[in-house]
Structure 1
Amino acid sequence: MWMIFEITIELKTTQKDSLIFYMADPSENYYAALQLMKGFVFFNFKIGNSPVFMDSDFVIDDGYWHTIEISRNRKTGTLQVDGTKRKRAKSDNGRKNLNIQSPIYIGGLPLNRQSPNVYGDGFDGCIRKFHLNDKVIDLTGKANNSYGVVTCYTNTEPGHYFQGIGHALLANQQQIGSDFELLIEFRTAQKDGLLFAATDLDGVGVTVVISNHDILLKLYTGRRMAEIPFRAHNNFTVCDYQWHLVQVVELNGLWQLSVDGIMANNLRGTVRLPEDERYRYYAGGNPLSNPDGIRFKGCIRRLEVNGGSVPVESSIEIVGVVPLECPVV
C-alpha cells in the first residue's frame, strides 16, 4: 500500500521522451508515473476516477544535471524541478492509496510489459541520485532485474562508449550492392574486439575487427572466405587510446582497407557478396552470427555507411553501450 511517498531524483539526458519512474496495480487502472514528454518533466498519477497531471515550465533535455522532486500524500501530489515553485494537484473522489505490492520500475518497462499510461521509451541518460522516502536507493546493486543499465561518466567527450560486454544493432534488413563504403573512427586500449559487422545469420557479409593490434577486414560469401589485414608496424598500433579512422571501400567487387589514410595491401581478385541477401549492421559485437566473439571496448565517435551517418544512439537495440558520451581518461 502506498498512501504517502516522496522521491528525489538527480539526472541528466538529451532524450525528449522517456519513462523515469513507474508503479501501478496489476490492472494498470491506478498508477504513478514520472516521465519526460518533449523534454518537459511530466508527473501523473491516478487513484480516483480521473488521472492527475503536473508538468514543468521548462525542458531538461539539455544534457545537464537536474533535480526532480515528486510526492504524493493521499490525494495530493506535488512536482518540483530544480528548486522552482512547487506545483500541486489533487485527485477527485476515490481511494487514498495505491494498492501496489511490486515491482517499481526505474528507467523503463520490461519488453514483456506494456502500459497505456507510459509515454515514450526507456530512459537514455544518467541517474546519480534516487531517494525514496528519505532512503538512498542503490540502482547499481539492489535491483531485482536490470536490462541495458551501464555506468555513467562525468568527464566525457562526444562519442559512444562500448563497455566490452554488448553491442548496438544499427540497422536491419539492409542490402550490400556492388558499391559499399564504411568509415569508422574509434579509440581503444584493447588489442581485440569487433568494430563493425554487416552479416546474416550464417556470417555471410562484411566484418571489421581488431585482432592482436591488427585491423582485419573479413569477407564471407557463403562459399569463400577472404581477408585483408592491416598490420601493426614500426611501433604503430590502433590500440593506444588515440583516435583512428578505418575506411573500407568496395567498387564492383574490389575491396580496399585503409587505416588513418594508409592503404593495406589490396585483395587480389574480386569478392562479391550476395546482393539479394539481407544483412544486419552491428557495432561492438555480433550476437547474430558470432555470439562468443570478443566485444569492442572503447569509443566510437564517427560511423558512416555509404556516405550517410549512422546514429548509434538511435539503434534498434543497445546493450552495454553508453550513447553520446565517451569517458576521458
Structure 2
Amino acid sequence: MRWRMARFGKTMAGGLLLSLSLTLLGWGAEGQGNGRGKKEVSGGTTVYLGQDRDTWRPLMHTRVNLNDIRSIKSSFHLRTFDPEGTIFYGDTKNGKDWFVLSLKDGVPLMQISRGESLVSVAGGPKLNDGKWHMLEVSNHEPFVVLEVDGSNRMVVGMESNRTMEILSGELRLALGGILIDKEQMFVQLQPQMDGCVRDGSWLNVSTPWESEVEELWPCHANIQPGSYFPGSGFAVFNTSVFPFEADQRVKMELWGDFRKMDGTIFSIKASGQKLLFALVANNNTKEITLTFGEENITMKDTFKRLVIIFQTDLLQVLRDGDKSNTTTLPINPVSHPGYFTTWKEGRLAVGGLLGEDGVGSQFLTGCLEKIQVQGRDLDLDSAVKHMSISSYSCPA
C-alpha cells in the first residue's frame, strides 16, 4: 500500500498528536435541548452526513475540556459511495491548530495545521464502495496511526526541535463540516458527503454534541449506487457545459428500474422559451412519456436503460440497447426552428419539470442508477440541486 504526504513548514510538536487522535463517532438521532436552542445528541447511533444544511456548516459539534480526555484512540464505521467529502473536524486554540479528516478520490485524507506547519496526508484503500469500513485513529507518540478495517495503516511520524507544548483549554469537534475558513485547507474539496457513520467510540468522553439541525436524517439499512430523488426537488445544469459533437448530435443515457419511478425524470428548457423536452414516469399507468413540443412518445416502463439521441432533424429513443426496440421521430425544422440551439443554450433539470420562472414541479420519486450525457457521468454535486437529493446512493 502506498501513501502520499505533502509537508510545509516545520514538523509539528507532539502536543498536536493529541488532537489528531480525535476522530468521528456515530451520533444519536434523538436528543434533548441544552438551553441554547440546540438539540443535544449522544454517541453511538447511525447518522446521515449529507443532510440538508449550508455546504460547509457542520452537522453537529461539541466542546471538550482537554483535561477531561483520558483515551488516545477513537474509532467509527463509515459507509459511502461518495468519493469526496468532509467527515470530521477538530481544533484547539479556537481554530489556530486544526485537523480535518475527509475522503478525496475515495481514499482517506488528513489535513493538519499547527502554527506555521501544514501537513496533508492521503492514501490507502478506496472506501467509497458502499460497504461499512471501520476507521481507527490512535496516538503512538511520535506517530499518529490511521487504521482501516484492522489492517491497512497510515502512519504519520512528527517530531520537531520546538519545545514540547502543554495543551490546555478547550477542544472543538465538528461532524460533517469545518469551523475554519475553507481557504485555510491545503487540499480543496467538495465538503458534502452522501454517507453514513455509526458505532462510534471516541476518547472515552461523554460530553454531548449539539445538533445544527432540528431533526437528524436516518440512514437506509441497505443502499445501492445511484442518485435518489425523494420527490421534493431537482438538479439543474447549464447545457453549455456539455461537449457537443461535430455532427450536431447529443446522446443522453439513463439507467434504472423505471417501473419504480414516478414524476419528471428530466426536462430541457431555454430561458424565455417554452419547455423543449420532458421525460415523465407515471407509476399509475406504468408508462414513460417523452414529450417534444406537441408530440409524445409513450413507452411501457419495463426497460432498465434508455438512450435518447438528439439530432438536428431526428430524435431516436432506444430501450435496453435493443436496436429493434427503437422509436424514431423526425423533427421538422419549420415547426421546431432552432431547437438544437435551445439544447445547447438552455438548462437541463434532472428530477423535475422546469417552469417559466425556473421553479420546478412534478418532482421525481425514484432512483437513477446512472445518468450520462455524451458518454460522461453527470455529477449531481456539480449542479444546483435540492439538498434532499442523494447524489451517490439509493435505498436498495
Q: What are structure 2's unaligned runs of at least 5 residues? A: 1-63
User: What's the CA shift for 1:194?
Assistant: 1.3
Partner of 2:336: 271
Count of aligned pairs: 306
Q: Secondary structure at the match of 1:173?
A: helix
Once residues 137 and 271 of structure 1 are traced to their aligned partners in structure 2, the CA distance between those partners, rounded to angstroms, is: 65
Out of 144, 167, 181, which is 1:96 matched to?
A: 167
Partner of 2:255: 185
Partner of 1:234: none
8 Å contact kept, 1:71–1:79: yes
Coordinate RMSD, CA, aligned: 4.6
Q: Once the two structures are superposed, what CA deviation does each residue of 1:33-85 show, in whole Å capped at 9, x if it has no partner?
A: 213355543445445564577767x3243513221223579998654333347
1:166 and 2:230 are equivalent in the alignment? no
User: What's the CA shift for 1:11?
Assistant: 1.0
Matches within 5 A, 1:78-227: 79-84=146-151, 87=155, 93-94=164-165, 96-97=167-168, 99=170, 104-109=173-178, 114-117=182-185, 119=187, 120-122=189-191, 124-129=193-198, 130-134=200-204, 143-145=211-213, 152-153=219-220, 155-170=222-237, 172-174=239-241, 179-188=249-258, 192-202=262-272, 204=274, 205-211=276-282, 213=285, 214-219=287-292, 225-227=293-295
Q: Secondary structure at the match of 1:59?
A: coil
Once residues 335 and 377 of structure 2 are traced to their aligned partners in structure 1, the CA distance between those partners, rounded to angstroms, is: 27
8 Å contact kept, 1:198–1:281: yes
Deviates more, 1:172-181 or 1:194-203: 172-181
Once residues 253 and 314 of structure 1 are traced to their aligned partners in structure 2, the CA distance between those partners, rounded to angstroms, is: 33
User: What's the CA shift for 1:21?
Assistant: 0.9
* Closer/same/farther in 2, CA of residues 52 and 99 from structure 1, 3 Å limit: farther
TM-score in terms of structure 2 length: 0.58
Out of 253, 273, 280, which is 2:347 matched to?
A: 280
Partner of 2:369: 301
Q: Once the two structures are superposed, what CA deviation does each residue of 1:272-293 show, in whole Å capped at 9, x if it has no partner?
A: 3261662222321257755341
TM-score in terms of structure 1 length: 0.68
Partner of 1:20: 87
Q: Secondary structure at the match of 2:349?
A: strand
Deviates more, 1:197-206 or 1:267-276: 267-276
1:61 and 2:121 are equivalent in the alignment? no
* Closer/same/farther in 2, CA of residues 105 and 49 from structure 1, 3 Å limit: same
Q: Percent sequence identity over matched residues?
A: 17
* Closer/same/farther in 2, CA of residues 270 and 86 from structure 1, 3 Å limit: closer
Once residues 174 and 272 of structure 2 are traced to their aligned partners in structure 1, the CA distance between those partners, rounded to angstroms, is: 37
1:126 counterpart letter in structure 2: G
